[in-house]
Every structure is written in C-alpha cells, then in structure tokens.
Chains A and B, each alone.
Chain A
Amino acid sequence: MLGILRIAYKLLVNDKGKFAALLMGLTFSVFLMIQMTSMFAGMMKKASATVTNTGAKVWVMDPAVTNVSSAIPMPDYVLDAARSIAGVKYAVPLYSGGALVRLKDGTYQPVTVLGLDDTSLFGRPQLIEGKIEDIYAENGFVVVKDEEYMKLENPKMGTEFELNDNRGVIVGVAKVPASGLFGIPTLYTTFNRAVQYIPSMRYTISFILIEPQSAAAIPHIRDEIKRLGYDTLTEDGLIDRITNWYMFHTGMGTNLVIMTAISFVVGLSISGQTFYTFVLENLERFGALKAIGAKGRELVFMIFFQAGITGIAGYGLGIGLCAGLIALAKLRVPDYASIITYGNLGLALGMVLVISACSGYIAVRKVLKIDPYDIFRG
C-alpha cells in the first residue's frame, strides 16, 4: 500500500501549480482560524490574569460578579464565616480596584491596585527587585514590570508618585505570569492601605481567597458559603466564568464564531474546488489505474491520502505563518493579546480534517464513477 501512496504523493506534489493553490487555500484558512481563536485565547488569558497571578485555589465572591474587574464588595462577616467553615485551611481578603496615578507631566494614568492580606500577603507576586516585607513600609507599593510598566514612566525602587492624592513609593518591582486585559499597569499593596487610599463603599472585600484543607472539602465550603448568599468558585471555575461572560455577554464570542466559520468556509471552498479540479484533470489517470487493476478502495485511499497530505501541510504552514506574525506583532506591540493554545490547534486541526475529508469525498465520488471503458474509448 505504501507504494500506491507514494504514487499518490508524487501525482500531487509534482503538479506544482495545483499543489501550491491547494496549500495557499488551506494555509490561509488555518491562519485565519488560528489567528482568531488565538486572539480570543490571549484576551481571555489577560482577562483572567488576576486569577492566575494570585494562585488561590478557591475564590468567594458576590454571585453577580462576572469578572475580576467588576468585583462587588462583600462585608467582613463573610470572611469570618469562611474562616470558621470546616475544611478551610485559611481564608484571606483581596482588594481589587482602580485608581489614578498622577504622572510627572501632570497627566493621570489609570492603574489596577491589588490589596493583599496584611498578615499573610497571600497572592503576592514574584519580586525581581526589592523585598516583599518592604510593602509594609510607609506608602509602600510594588509595581508589576509587564508590558504596561512603561505607562508609569518606568518607575524604579524609591520612585515616588501620587495615587488618588496620596503619596506612594515603589518598594519592589515584580513579575507576573500574565498582564491584565485593559492595558493598564498593576500595583500591589496591603489590603488595609488599598482600602485607605482608594475610595470604597461600606464593604471593602472584593474577593475572599480560600486555601482548602483538601480538594474534597471544596463542595462543603461551597455549600456553606452559598448559605450566606455568596458564590464559591475554584480557580478554573472562575476562569471559565470570566471566559463565558466575554464569550456570551459581549460581541467577542459572536465575532469569534463568525470569523472562524468564514475561515472554514473559505478554506473549504478554495481547497474543495481546487482539489476537485485536480482530480478532474487526473481523472483519466485514475481511470487508467482502474483499467490496469487498481481496486476502488486503493483509489479511495490515494485520494484521501492526497487530501490528508495537503491538509496537514496547509495546517503546518498556517500555524507557522500565524506564529510568525504573532511573534512579529509582539515585537512592535508588547501587550498584543494572542496566544496559540492546544485548544486552538485542536480546533483548527479538526476543521482542516473536515475540509480535507469533504474535498476528498467530493473527489472520490467522481473517481469511483469513472468507467475504465471510457479510457479505452479515448
């Protein structure tokens, strides 16, 4: 069978014009699919940045919270109640809010301020400069050195700034796995200082972060918190909630589906049409093979092999092109939100296989109908 596949391969790739057209169609299609889905994945990663950067296993929040930036403050008794639930190792508050930093030229830069539990500093970032205990110093803030860092005019250790009319001092520079979605810098400080510096409502706790004694304790914790009227989500559950909110409550999901469907249709029509033309032009040869003694299943195998080879090659080229362009874009726009995930790759592979199977099926129907007698008649 390998020899037959080799013939099929040579018939395909030696027809350079057609093969190039097939590859272009599929490459373009895969590129569009990967580009759209990777952009969405990148944005969702950024939207969930606080969740992944904090690293808490269980999050407690108001049921109406849809993402970290829209936290609804909770009263202190929820924290006390959480700490008293069986199976909770510890529970700490997290403040998440926005503030304005006044830059040297007098303009204002919005920032995200995360206030960590004063006692444990749970969820603190990894420092690349300074010591974490300096966050307790007067007006101490830790700045995250990510793509947005330069928007605060590249502050260094000891740099002073004005935040909501309060003095702030940079006491540490940190790095985090992911930066936020909205393109604004992030500052860490203690929970109490955050509450003190940033105007807030009567309640101040944005989220309660819980470390359960074991994974088995989570359902019980969830039930107990629910009795208080609040939601408990695992880290993955919260990421899913954020993703679903962007997917189904903003236009992003619709755009994603439309663009992915368009790229699928483009790929299917270009490659289907070109592959069909390729097979039509080779119909006599397939007929000659049939006359010589090739069986129907061997011809089917040849055609699906050709469609598969084209699909896989186009898939690889499409991924390469997309990865190259993302890398180029990131050189110019550091916070360009696009990441290629296994999910994107799997989705695109699935669609390419469908395109290849459809193209192959259309061609196979034609080839199986050839009558070798027509080859004789010329």
Chain B
Amino acid sequence: MDPVAIKAEGVTKWFGQGEAKTCAVRDVSFEARFHEMLYIVGPSGSGKTTLLSMISGILRPDSGTVRVEDTDVWALKENALADFRLQRIGFVFQDFHLFPNLTTVENVAIPLVLKRRDWDDAIKEGMKYLEVVGLTARAQLNPTRLSGGEQQRVAIARALASGPDLMIFDEPTASLDGDTGKKIVEFVKHDVLTEHRCIVVVTHDDRIYEYADRILHMEDGRLLEGKGSADA
C-alpha cells in the first residue's frame, strides 16, 4: 500500500457571523495516498472547494488538522506556508488563471521563477513541461491565443513545474467540452500521476468519474457516511 500523502482530521470551516454564520465544512476527516487520484464530488455549495483550499494551505480551518506527508500544514507560519505551497502543491485552477501578458512558456516558468531560478533556466525547464503536455509549438504564444483545452494543459504544465507532491485540480473540466475534458483527465491519470504524487480533483462532472481511484462524496459540508473510502 502506498504511503499516506494527506491526512485531514476533524476539519471544520465556518463563514459569516451572527445569524448568517454557516458551516461550509463540518468535521471532515479523510486520507489520500501517494499514487492515488482522489475525487471529491458533490453538488454546488457542498464545501468541496473549501475543503480543497484547506488541504492545500490556502484557507485556514477553524478547527482540525491537515497533514501533507510529514508536514502539519496549519502549524506553518505565513512565509513557510507560502513556501510549502510553492514547493509541494501544484494548483490547476478552474479558470486556469494564466497571465495573458506573458507567453505560454513564461506562464509555465512562474513557479520556477518564484523558486528563484535564473530566468533563462526557468524558461528552458518550462519548455520541458510544455513538452510533457505536448505544447512546445505554442511556447511563444500568449495564452489568449490558445484553445480552452490547450490553456488547461498550460495550467497543468505550470502546476507540474513546481515539482509538487500534491496536485490540486478544481473543476478541471468545467471550462471544457466533454471530449476535451475527458482527454485532459486521461492525460493527467496516465502522465501526471506518479507513485510520488497524489492528485485531488474536485468536480461534479460524472463523465470523468471513471478515472478516479477513489471518490469522496460531500453534501452540506460533510463527507457522506460510508463513502469516505469508497472505491470508484
């Protein structure tokens, strides 16, 4: 059995104050292992993205702990937390959040630049990741000139560039048509998931459930009973 990559225990998050106070994630505990593609699924507003943010060091939980391998994520101070995200987490945002004023390869090189790599080295290495996603021919174009699927691949290349243990995909197929979405997830499953990497995908697109190793169902901020370790 592969070692544990993420261990969340009793994670809870409240939003708002007074009568408007709502619990977005309530006492959620789960584990994810390396070499595992874990889906967190559920209807809109069920707390998937909030949970994803808490396990990736973006949003501080009100209670509970999150460990990524040997690191207690929320025990880290602000700068250490930023370093943790840079060194260990690869984000693929729902809207990609590529920089339209940079070329494709420059977008991919951003995490390397943030790691203080020399610009030319970062660009060279960025090209390697573009090669992984099959977009070397598009390296010098601005992302606005790419299709949705290509932009998604650039976002994946950027996430890969930081050499992460944990990759976070937020609704990876939301901006893509059915076929492209499937191809992207298939690519992630076969070429991005390695034995030293864990991938967590938040989605409510049931057409890609077949690629999950395990699926966690969320509703009203809770993991549904009996489904915490359900196989796909």
* Interface flag for A372 (CB, 8 Å): yes
Q: Identify the closest chain B residue to A298 (Cβ).
A: B114
A375 neighbours in B (Cβ, 8 Å): 93, 97
Per the bound structure, the CA–CA distance linking A59 and B196 in Å amounts to 86
User: Are B101 and A14 closer than 8 Å at their CB atoms?
Assistant: yes
User: Which residues of B have CB within 8 Å of A1?
Assistant: 116
Q: A290–B87 Cα gap in the complex (Å)?
A: 13
Give the number of A-B contacts (CB < 8 Å): 90
Contact B78 A292 (CB under 8 A): no
Measured CA separation A372–B170 after assembly (Å) = 13
Smallest beta-carbon distance A164→chain B, Å: 73
- Kindly provide the distance from the CB of B100 to the nearest chain A CB, expressed in whole angstroms: 8
Contact with A along B46-77 (1 / 0, CB 8 A): 00011011000011000000000000000000
A293–B91 Cα distance when bound, in Å, is: 10
Asked if A378 contacts B119 (CB within 8 A), the reply is: no
The residue in chain A whose Cβ has the minimal distance to the Cβ of B94 is A378
Instruction: Name which residue of chain A comes closest to B170, CB basis.
Output: A376
When C-beta atoms are compared, the residue in chain B nearest to A373 turns out to be: B59
Q: Is B85 an interface residue (CB 8 A)?
A: yes
Tell me the residues in window 163-187 of chain B with beta carbons closer than 8 Å to chain A beta carbons: 170
A376→B78 contact, CB < 8 A: no
Tell me if A193 is interfacial: C-beta within 8 Å of chain B: no
Contact flags B88-111 to A (C-beta < 8 A → 1, else 0) = 010101110101011000100011
Chain A residues with CB under 8 Å of B99's CB are 7, 11, 285
A291 touches B49 (CB 8 A): no
Kindly list chain A residues whose C-beta atoms are within 8 Å of the C-beta of B118: 3
B87/A293 in contact, CB under 8 A? yes
Does B17 touch A at the CB level, under 8 Å? no
Q: From A377, which residue of chain B is reached at the shortest CB distance?
A: B49
Query: In the complex where A2-B119, A3-B118, A3-B122 touch, is A373 in contact with B53 (Cβ < 8 A)?
Result: yes
In the assembled complex, B86 has its CB within 8 A of some CB on chain A: yes
- Which A residue's beta carbon lies closest to that of B109? A3
Chain A: residues with Cβ within 8 Å of the partner, total of: 30
Q: Is A6 in the interface zone, CB < 8 Å from B?
A: yes
Q: Which of A15, A285, A296 interacts with B78 by CB under 8 Å? A: A296
In A1-47, the 8 Å CB interface with B consists of 1-4, 6-7, 10-11, 14-15
Q: How far is the CA of A125 from the CA of B118 in the complex (A)?
A: 62
Minimum distance in angstroms from A21 CB to a CB of chain B: 15
Beta-carbon contact of A289 and B101 below 8 Å: no
- Chain A positions within 8 Å of B111 at CB level: 292-293
A160 at the interface (CB under 8 A from B): no
State in angstroms the CA–CA spacing of A14 and B99 once bound together.
11
**Min distance, Cβ A331 to any Cβ of chain B, angstroms:** 41
What is the interface residue range for chain B against chain A?
35 or more
Q: A231: which B residues are within 8 A, CB to CB?
A: none
Interface SS of A by simple majority? helix
CB neighbours of B93 from chain A (8 A):
288, 291, 375-376, 378
Which A residues from 44 to 93 make CB contacts under 8 A with B?
Answer: none
**Interface 1/0 per residue, A284-306 and B, CB below 8 Å:** 11011111111110100000000
Assembled-state Cα–Cα distance A371/B91 (Å): 15
Residues of A within 8 A of B78 (CB): 295-296
Closest chain B residue, CB of each to CB of A297: B79
Asked if B131 is at the interface of the complex by the 8 Å CB criterion, the answer is no
Q: Is the CB of A289 within 8 A of B110?
A: yes
Please measure, in the bound complex, the distance between the C-alpha atom of A317 and the C-alpha atom of B209, giving whole angstroms: 58
CB distance from B109 to the nearest CB of A (A): 8
Q: With the chains together, A372 CA to B89 CA distance in Å? A: 14
Name the one of A3, A15, A292, A376 contacting B119, with C-beta atoms under 8 angstroms. Answer: A3
- B119 and chain A: residue at smallest CB distance: A3
Given contacts A3-B122, A7-B102, A284-B97, contact A294 B114 (CB under 8 A): yes
Residues of B within 8 A of A294 (CB): 82, 86, 114
Chain A residues lying within 8 Å of B152, measured Cβ to Cβ, are none
- Distance of A103 Cα from B6 Cα, bound (Å): 100
Q: Which residues of B contact A15 (CB under 8 A)?
A: 101
Bound-state CA distance A292–B57 (Å) is 10
Chain A residue nearest in CB terms to B120: A3
Q: Does B83 sit at the interface, judged by CB under 8 A?
A: yes
Q: Give the Cβ gap from B221 to chain A, nearest Cβ, in Å.
A: 15
Contact of A376 among B53, B87, B158 (CB under 8 A): B53
Which B residues are in CB contact (< 8 Å) with A295? 78-79, 82-83
CB neighbours of B170 from chain A (8 A):
376
B113 touches A (CB below 8 Å):
yes
Q: How far is the CA of A1 from the CA of B114 in the complex (A)?
A: 8
Cα separation A7 to B119 with both chains bound (whole Å): 10
15 contacts between A and B (CB under 8 A): A2-B119, A7-B110, A10-B101, A11-B101, A285-B97, A289-B114, A290-B82, A291-B93, A292-B114, A296-B78, A296-B82, A373-B59, A376-B58, A376-B59, A378-B95
Chain A residues close to B by CB (< 8 Å): 1-4, 6-7, 10-11, 14-15, 284-285, 287-296, 298, 371-373, 375-378
- Report the 8 A-B pairs with minimum CB-CB distance, sorted nearest first: A293-B86, A14-B101, A3-B113, A288-B97, A293-B85, A373-B59, A3-B119, A295-B82
Q: Please name 6 further chain A to chain B contacts, defined as beta carbons within 8 Å, in addition to the given A4-B114, A284-B97, A377-B49, sorted by A numbering.
A: A288-B93, A289-B114, A291-B91, A292-B158, A293-B86, A294-B82
